[in-house]
Amino acid sequence: MRGPFPNPLFRPALRERGKRQAKRTLKAQRLTLNLPRIEYLSLAQMPVHRRDFFKLGAGALVSAAAPARAAARPARRPAPAAAGEIKTGGIRLIQVDGKYNVWTKKVGEGRIKVLTLHGGPGATHEYLECFEDFLPQQGIEFYYYDQLGSAYSDQPDDKSLWTVDRFREEVEQVRSALGLENFYLFGHSWGGMLGIEYALKYQRHLKALVISDMTASVASYVTYINELRKKLPADVIAVLEKYEAKGEFEAPEYQDVMLKRIYAEHLCRLDPWPDPVSRTFKHLATPVYNTMQGPNEFVVNGTFKDWDRWNDLPKIRVPTLLLVGRHDTMSVADIQKMGRAIPRSRVGVCENGSHMGMYDDQPAYFRHLLGFFRDVASGKMA
């Protein structure tokens, strides 16, 4: 739900009932303790605007002075609480592009600091919530971050915003606002593409890079996903082709095939899907996804369709971990090729995993990830 919940103090019936109850309580206290008469101030009588009410302490609701004295000397406004005193569970909104807010959340405390980039494009941080069961326990501090257009951040209706270059600059704005230096950047799927882009331009800020389940070009991805498609039964391929020819990608039969034959085999192999995964898909920002990728995994005609960084991989000089699942939508051979191209890299293959190995091959995934963090921190990846 967006916006504040209705405050009972602004409902007339509840407000009047609360005033009467307060008067009875104060009168009883005065008679029992021989206190001076206390005059109750209604919200209308308070010398502050209604929007400033929540900045005041409870003491502003009563005045110990006589009415005439109170009128002669208005109550002073307490200074607002310092921003640092307000606890938000680690959540912080960060302004990007001078006018939009993106959502971030800090989890844990530690010398190793990790900024996470979710996939999609247009997904949310939610499917990364399993990190909370592995990273903080190892003294690793990490940050969720919902990119612009995603469910927890602002969602402007402007297709010109959904480009790789603009998102790369957004990541740098978020890094700067969080004060991260010599930090670890983790990117999954589309977030891995974004991580590569960030490393190629802003490598000076990085301690290490994790590219999870992402190859070095969209063309390589399309080639491999279509190899997987060719292995489907002929009748299933016929269904896909029928609706793709008509552009009816939302047809129930088409979606049913995508879910059961593609996503269940190559995206997340658990049944049922973990709740964080389901919530992420429920909250997927389709305007961002459709603009950048296209209608689905097979039809890639969006703004990043020509993205290719194979020739630039040797320029990534920071320690890099490449993760992939044996049943992934990305080619294991492609990820291993990336490992040979990036000088200080290692490859982790999750043999039982798919695109979301952090769930369907969790032990292997976090063994690779945590081992990499430890080795970089101890200098073994120098």
- Does 225 fall in a domain? yes
Please answer whether residues 203 and 228 qualify as being in contact, where contact means their C-beta atoms are separated by less than 8 angstroms. Answer: no
For residues 178 and 227, state if they share a domain.
Answer: yes
Banded pLDDT at 381 (limits 50, 70, 90): confident
Q: What is the pLDDT of residue 356?
A: 98
For residues 31 and 97, state if they share a domain.
Answer: no
Q: What is the pLDDT of residue 178?
A: 98
For residues 26 and 146, state if they share a domain.
Answer: no
Which one is catalytic: 63, 189, 212, 331?
189
Average pLDDT over residues 84-88: 81
Among candidate residues 72, 100, 116, the one where a domain is terminated: 72
275 is catalytic: no
For residues 66 and 147, state if they share a domain.
Answer: no
Q: Which is more confidently placed, 54 or 269?
A: 269
Q: What is the pLDDT of residue 295?
A: 83
For residues 149 and 66, state if they share a domain.
Answer: no
Q: What is the pLDDT of residue 77?
A: 57
What token pair was written down for 295? 């209608």
Cβ-in-10-Å burial (0-12, 13-18, 19+) of 101 comes to middle
Average pLDDT over residues 72-96: 72
Banded pLDDT at 39 (limits 50, 70, 90): very low
Please answer whether residues 327 and 353 qualify as being in contact, where contact means their C-beta atoms are separated by less than 8 angstroms. Answer: yes
Domain count for the chain, please give it: 2
Residue 30 CA to residue 37 CA, distance in Å, equals 7
Residue 313 CA to residue 341 CA, distance in Å, equals 6
- Convert the pLDDT of each residue in 299-339 to its tens digit: 899 999 999 999 999 999 999 999 999 999 999 999 999 99
What token pair was written down for 323? 């993760």
Q: Is the predicted pLDDT of residue 215 greater than 90, yes or no?
A: yes
For residues 65 and 147, state if they share a domain.
Answer: no
For residues 26 and 128, state if they share a domain.
Answer: no
- Does 2 fall in a domain? no
Among candidate residues 43, 72, 101, the one where a domain is terminated: 72
Which of 173, 172, 164, 166 has the alpha carbon at shortest distance from 193? 164
H or E, element range at 320:
strand 320-325
Which of 110, 161, 152, 157 has the alpha carbon at shortest distance from 131? 110
- Convert the pLDDT of each residue in 137-179 to its tens digit: 999 999 999 999 999 999 999 999 999 999 999 999 999 999 9
158 is catalytic: no
Banded pLDDT at 201 (limits 50, 70, 90): very high
For residues 211 and 322, state if they share a domain.
Answer: yes
**Beta bridge pairs of residue 325:** 350
- Convert the pLDDT of each residue in 263-276 to its tens digit: 999 999 999 999 99
For residues 118 and 222, state if they share a domain.
Answer: yes
CA distances (Å), origin 366, targets 115, 285, 299, 321, 328: 16, 28, 32, 12, 17
355 is catalytic: yes
Which one is catalytic: 355, 360, 361, 368?
355
For residues 53 and 136, state if they share a domain.
Answer: no
For residues 45 and 157, state if they share a domain.
Answer: no
For residue 14, what are the domain limits?
8-72
Which one is catalytic: 146, 213, 328, 334?
328
- Does 1 fall in a domain? no
